[in-house]
Amino acid sequence: MRAYRLNGAAAPLRLVNETEPKPGPGEVLIDLKAATLNYRDTIVREARYGGDQRADLIPLSDGAGVIAAVGEGVAQERVGERVAVGFMPRWTEGPFSAAKQARALGGGFVDGVLAERIVVPATGVARLPDSWSFAEGAAYPCAGVTAWNCLFGGGGIRPGDTVLVEGTGGVSTFALQFARAVGARVIATSSSDEKLARARALGADAGINYRDVPDWGARAAEIAGGEGVDHVVEVGGSGTLNQALAAVRPGGEVALVGVLTGFGGEINTGAILMKAINLRGVYVGSVSNLAASLRSGVRPIIDEVFPFEKADAAFERLLSGAHRGKVAIHIAD
Ligand SMILES: NC(=O)c1ccc[n+]([C@@H]2O[C@H](COP(=O)([O-])OP(=O)(O)OC[C@H]3O[C@@H](n4cnc5c(N)ncnc54)[C@H](OP(=O)(O)O)[C@@H]3O)[C@@H](O)[C@H]2O)c1
């Protein structure tokens, strides 16, 4: 089968021919049809994701395809099922653990989905809605599940709550859509007025350009009214967290997922305790979260679909920052 392997940060991905994988007991072989990119893939490629990693990894965590064969103990009827592959296929449900995290696809020492086929546990996939494209299904495993977990994995959002989403990338666009689907109000930030207009077209109630309004946290609190926003989907990390803490109401929730501005940094710990903020780290989610998020029926925004042969161009598109929603790669018909 054909697959791409990392080849250093600056060099193009290396297209290789690999031995066909075979499913063992309890496993399924997936014919991959589409993959999508996440910010994580760019820092894995640059070996900046943290921790050791294999230098010639097959990249990307998010894929969808068709079950082509099953191993011993898996029902033969599952052949032909259209599925999305879990970001951590061994985290079926229940609590998170380091062992489950260590098996996340496309990072560390675990090959990912930028290949024609992959073998995963039969419990590591979730069914796609029939009418969805494989690119739509492949949009969910990391960005969709993370956004889902941010909004529904903690205290949960209610109709009428106000949610602040930062930027218009993969996670934030999903969060906007999920929040609107349950009748919450959404305030979006972006570096671009054009992207804010598109966020409003998707249902955002208000937008703030974070380049023009440096204290966008206070501005979001003002727009929300009352004591501030109820939830923040915090994708920026240390460079944005203090604004998120300014935006959220006392007793509100900040779901911390992002590292766009780095992994370390100064945090206003005083605000966290004086406002009794629920600051919650989120690391994607389980296969059961994937299945639940797919059942939402929220169709992802696909920015652009690149052919398999132009995988490097898909990375460039994500790195350009011009994308909105998910950048996808078509692997096979
Ligand atoms: N913890 C987890 O489980 C988890 C899962 C998925 C992703 N993540 C993290 O979440 C972050 C977003 O991932 P993604 O895949 O959605 O990325 P993405 O699609 O590349 O989108 C990033 C967007 O964030 C906005 N942005 C960039 N710098 C910003 C800043 N300084 N302040 C505010 N917004 C900024 C930009 O929006 P505009 O262009 O509109 O300005 C950009 O389009 C990344 O750090 C990623 O590693 C974490």
Are residue 29 and residue 100 in the same domain, yes or no? yes
Residue 68: pLDDT band (50, 70, 90) is very high
Confirm whether 149 is domain-assigned.
no
CA dist., res. 323 & res. 306, Å (int):
13
Residue 274: pLDDT band (50, 70, 90) is very high
Q: Is the model's pLDDT at 280 over the cut of 90?
A: yes
**Sign of the torsion angle spanned by Cα atoms 254, 255, 260, 265:** positive
Are residue 95 and residue 162 in the same domain, yes or no? no
CA dist., res. 279 & res. 251, Å (int):
10
What residues make up the domain containing 46? 2-141+285-330
Confirm whether 146 is domain-assigned.
no
258: tokens are: 């992002």
Q: Is the model's pLDDT at 325 over the cut of 90?
A: no
User: What is the tens place of the pLDDT at every residue in 172-198?
Assistant: 999 999 999 999 999 999 999 999 999
Closest ligand 1 atom to the C-alpha of 43? 47
Q: Is the model's pLDDT at 123 over the cut of 90?
A: yes
Distance 49 CA to ligand 1 centre (A): 14
Confirm whether 147 is domain-assigned.
no
CA dist., res. 104 & res. 112, Å (int):
8
Q: Say which residue the tokens 């979730």 belong to.
A: 126
Confirm whether 106 is domain-assigned.
yes
Q: Is the model's pLDDT at 245 over the cut of 90?
A: yes
Listed residues 281, 300, 322: the one ending a domain: 281
The partner residues of 280 in beta bridges, in order of sequence, read 255
For residue 321 and ligand 1, the question of a CB distance below 6 A is answered with yes
Residue 215: pLDDT band (50, 70, 90) is very high
- pLDDT for 203 equals 97
Are residue 267 and residue 294 in the same domain, yes or no? no
The partner residues of 329 in beta bridges, in order of sequence, read 35, 306
- pLDDT for 99 equals 94
Q: Is the model's pLDDT at 324 over the cut of 90?
A: no
Does this model's pTM top 0.85? My answer is yes
Listed residues 260, 281, 302: the one ending a domain: 281
- pLDDT for 271 equals 94
**Sign of the torsion angle spanned by Cα atoms 143, 148, 153, 156:** positive
- pLDDT for 93 equals 94
Of the ranges 78-82, 84-88, 208-212, 266-270, which one carries the lowest mean pLDDT score?
266-270
Report the largest interatomic distance among the alpha carbons of the chain, rounded to a whole angstrom. 60
Are residue 62 and residue 30 in the same domain, yes or no? yes
Residue 51: pLDDT band (50, 70, 90) is confident
CATH of the domain at 197: 3.40.50.720
Closest ligand 1 atom to the C-alpha of 237? 45
User: What is the tens place of the pLDDT at every residue in 11-40?
Assistant: 899 999 999 999 999 999 999 999 999 999
For residue 153 and ligand 1, the question of a CB distance below 6 A is answered with no
- pLDDT for 263 equals 80
Q: Say which residue the tokens 């760019």 belong to.
A: 42
For residue 210 and ligand 1, the question of a CB distance below 6 A is answered with yes
Are residue 181 and residue 90 in the same domain, yes or no? no
CATH of the domain at 68: 3.90.180.10
Confirm whether 86 is domain-assigned.
yes
Could you count the other beta carbons within 10 Å of the beta carbon of residue 152? 17
Confirm whether 148 is domain-assigned.
no
Instruction: Domain count for the chain, please give it.
Output: 2
Are residue 133 and residue 232 in the same domain, yes or no? no
Are residue 208 and residue 111 in the same domain, yes or no? no
Are residue 219 and residue 306 in the same domain, yes or no? no
Residue located nearest, by CA, to atom 36 of ligand 1: 167
Closest ligand 1 atom to the C-alpha of 256? 1
SS (H, E, C) 292-303: HHHHCCCCCCEE
Pocket test for ligand 1, best of 235, 280, 289 (most atoms within 8 A of CB): 235
Q: Averaged over 244-266, what is the pLDDT?
A: 92
| Phi, psi angles (nearest 5°) of residue 113 | -110, 10
For residue 282 and ligand 1, the question of a CB distance below 6 A is answered with yes
Instruction: Give yes or no for a contact between 233 and 165, defined as CB atoms under 8 angstroms apart.
Output: yes
Are residue 116 and residue 134 in the same domain, yes or no? yes
Residue 254: pLDDT band (50, 70, 90) is very high
Are residue 274 and residue 174 in the same domain, yes or no? yes
For residue 213 and ligand 1, the question of a CB distance below 6 A is answered with no
Confirm whether 189 is domain-assigned.
yes
Confirm whether 181 is domain-assigned.
yes
Are residue 168 and residue 209 in the same domain, yes or no? yes
For residue 63 and ligand 1, the question of a CB distance below 6 A is answered with no
**Chain-wide mean pLDDT for the chain?**
95
Q: Is the model's pLDDT at 10 over the cut of 90?
A: no
CA dist., res. 226 & res. 86, Å (int):
39
Radius of gyration of the chain from Cα atoms? 20
Are residue 192 and residue 119 in the same domain, yes or no? no
